[in-house]
């Protein structure tokens, strides 16, 4: 009773006062902790029970597997699996078998989850739903749909949980035809009118498949629209970038008397920031204060900070952050906002304050602050960060951290430190190689950049868009026309020129710097839609080679709105 009411201290006290603590009372306590999200406590009680010489029963096993899944304790789950096998429970207790499938799925091992499922002599609808939920949780949507088809072929009728997971898979895969089949089945079984979550999942599926009109049709047919239904249609419009429709839905929601929750506020605040709806954003701010969410809900407070950054109102963003409940996520949002607005000094100040308040930086924090160090040229702060990153092991475990350190040292002009950091990386992939190549190219060390590029290819790595852009810059710096031509051929092979304007502009620039304005002009003429950088690069090339008539011709053509030029 106490556990079901969430009063775990009272449950523990009652247990402690028992004259005899047997497997039934231990299981009740373990169940209470497991069902209330206190998995670690449940596991501790399980060990204590075994130390008291008591053997677990079927209910104990089922609950302790739930606890293992909740805390992600894979190895403890494996130990319990072995115990279950010893007493031959798996063959005769479907509840334990399903709990075992669920535990492996929650611990991230879908191979073991599938293996346990395959060993069931007679799986039931819960077995199928548990396996399908596991695949959906890990975004293995193709497997979700495959399992669902097999489930139907074997004569099982899906339940609400099954429908929810398969609709999520249809949304993830974009398979609207399968979603429509499910919709028909759901309507036939009456779930659409009786279950609000099914209606919301259908709206979400149609919206994510790009059929927003159908999503709205489903929404309009729901007889009793609560906050879940409203959030589903608001999220649907938001996912399609229809921010004005998001705000219209919110107005209708308020008119209908449904109170927004934290999910609603997050979507509406994002829409206000996207379309620069300052007045509506300030109204929302007032409403959030009135309902007490600013001080009590970090997600809403963080969304409000983000909105003010999107509106360019940096002072207001700081004020909201100062007034609200803060955590690592909210600090990262504040730091990211300053980085976006190129306020590197404010980024570093916020990082310092974050540490002073006792919050531990994570990978996202380090990436943002390293970027600020590069922008400010504050290499001493970057070196401090490097030491901290190495101490907690991020350098060996996260490739983006390594690349950011290389970039920071390179932007501060410390190429030896950049090279040393690269050499110490456990894994040198295309991201870290590109960071090093970029560093050399941007600091005028074109020969070193070209050497690194060849070394990267000898290691069997294929360049990405950023690598191509940087190596073209290096070719231009050293005037290596033939290497530039080789890179041009590679770019053509992977069809990057047609879909990446940055690479196209880099190619124009490379040919111009190497003195071949005919090729530079040819590449420019092949651009489907040149941008202002394309024109500026071409004009700069002609100016560099004192071809002033062509400079003026390009400039006039640019002013008239483009069009390719022919060299006479």
**Ranges of each domain in the chain:** 1-122
Measured in whole angstroms, the distance separating CA 63 from the mean position of its chain's CA atoms is 31
- 10 Å CB burial of residue 533 (0-12, 13-18, 19+) is middle
CB 452 within 8 A of CB 419: no
Q: How far apart are the first and last CA of the chain?
A: 91
Instruction: Measure the CA–CA gap between 430 and 196, rounded to whole angstroms.
Output: 47
Q: Where are the alpha helices (DSSP H) in 138-211?
A: 141-153, 160-173, 176-189, 191-194, 196-208
In tens, the pLDDT along 160-214 reads 999 999 999 999 988 999 999 999 988 888 776 678 899 999 999 999 999 999 9
Instruction: Measure the CA–CA gap between 142 and 150, rounded to whole angstroms.
Output: 13
Report the pLDDT value the prediction gives residue 3, as an integer from 0 to 100: 57
> Which residues, at least 6 apart from 179, have a Cβ–Cβ distance to it below 8 Å?
167, 170, 171, 202, 205, 206, 209
Report the pLDDT value the prediction gives residue 566, as an integer from 0 to 100: 42
Report the pLDDT value the prediction gives residue 1, as an integer from 0 to 100: 67
Report the pLDDT value the prediction gives residue 564, as an integer from 0 to 100: 47
Which stretches of the chain score pLDDT less than 70? 1-3, 5-8, 11, 17, 192-193, 395, 562-568
Instruction: Measure the CA–CA gap between 269 and 258, rounded to whole angstroms.
Output: 18
> Which residues, at least 6 apart from 488, have a Cβ–Cβ distance to it below 8 Å?
507
CA–CA distances in Å: residue 330 to residues 88, 123, 376, 401, 483: 50, 45, 23, 21, 47
Report the pLDDT value the prediction gives residue 48, as an integer from 0 to 100: 85
- 10 Å CB burial of residue 167 (0-12, 13-18, 19+) is buried
């Amino acid at each position: 009773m106490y556990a079901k009411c969430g009063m775990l201290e009272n449950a523990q006290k009652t247990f402690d006062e028992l004259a005899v603590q047997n497997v039934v009372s231990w299981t009740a306590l373990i169940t209470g902790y497991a069902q209330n999200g206190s998995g670690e406590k449940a596991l501790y009680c399980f060990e204590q029970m075994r130390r008291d010489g008591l053997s677990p029963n079927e209910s104990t096993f089922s609950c302790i597997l739930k606890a293992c899944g909740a805390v992600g304790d894979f190895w403890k789950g494996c130990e319990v699996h072995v115990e279950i096998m010893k007493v031959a429970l798996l063959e005769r207790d479907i509840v334990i078998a399903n709990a075992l499938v669920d535990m492996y799925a929650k611990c991230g091992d879908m191979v073991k989850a599938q293996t346990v499922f395959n060993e069931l002599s007679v799986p039931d609808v819960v077995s199928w739903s548990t396996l399908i939920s596991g695949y959906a949780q890990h975004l293995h949507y193709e497997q979700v749909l495959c399992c669902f088809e097999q489930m139907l072929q074997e004569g099982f009728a899906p339940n609400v949980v099954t429908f929810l997971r398969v609709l999520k898979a249809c949304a993830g895969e974009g398979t609207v035809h399968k979603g429509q089949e499910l919709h028909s089945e759901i309507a036939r079984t009456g779930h659409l009118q009786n279950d609000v979550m099914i209606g919301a999942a259908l709206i979400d599926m149609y919206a994510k498949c790009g059929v927003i009109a159908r999503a709205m049709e489903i929404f309009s047919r729901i007889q009793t629209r609560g906050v879940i239904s409203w959030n589903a249609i608001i999220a649907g419009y938001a996912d399609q970038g229809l921010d004005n429709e998001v705000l219209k839905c919110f107005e209708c929601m308020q008119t209908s008397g449904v109170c927004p929750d934290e999910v609603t506020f997050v979507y509406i605040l994002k829409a206000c920031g996207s379309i620069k709806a300052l007045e509506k954003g300030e109204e929302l701010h007032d409403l959030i204060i009135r309902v007490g969410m600013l001080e009590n809900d970090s997600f809403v407070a963080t969304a409000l900070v983000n909105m003010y950054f999107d509106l360019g109102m940096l002072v207001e963003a700081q004020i909201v952050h100062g007034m609200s409940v803060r955590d690592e996520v909210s600090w990262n949002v504040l730091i990211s906002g300053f980085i976006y607005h190129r306020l590197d000094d404010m980024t570093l100040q916020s990082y310092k304050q974050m540490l002073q308040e006792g919050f531990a930086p994570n990978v996202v924090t380090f990436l943002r602050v390293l970027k600020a160090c590069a922008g400010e040229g504050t290499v001493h702060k970057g070196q401090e960060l490097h030491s901290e990153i190495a101490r907690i092991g991020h350098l060996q475990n996260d490739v983006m951290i390594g690349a950011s350190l290389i970039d920071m040292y390179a932007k501060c002009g410390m190429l030896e430190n950049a090279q040393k950091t690269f050499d110490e990386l456990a894994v040198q992939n295309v991201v870290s190689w590109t960071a090093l190549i970029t560093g050399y190219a941007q600091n005028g060390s074109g020969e070193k950049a070209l050497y690194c590029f060849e070394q990267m290819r000898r290691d069997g790595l294929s360049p990405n868009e950023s690598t191509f852009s940087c190596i073209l810059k290096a070719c231009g710096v050293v005037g290596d026309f033939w290497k530039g031509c080789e890179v041009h051929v590679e770019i053509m092979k992977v069809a990057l020129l047609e879909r990446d304007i940055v690479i196209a502009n880099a190619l124009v620039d490379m040919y111009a710097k190497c003195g071949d304005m005919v090729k530079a002009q040819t590449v420019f003429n092949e651009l489907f839609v040149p941008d202002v950088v394309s024109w500026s690069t071409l004009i700069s090339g002609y100016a560099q080679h004192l071809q002033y008539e062509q400079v003026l011709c390009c400039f006039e053509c640019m002013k008239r709105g483009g069009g390719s030029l022919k060299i006479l």
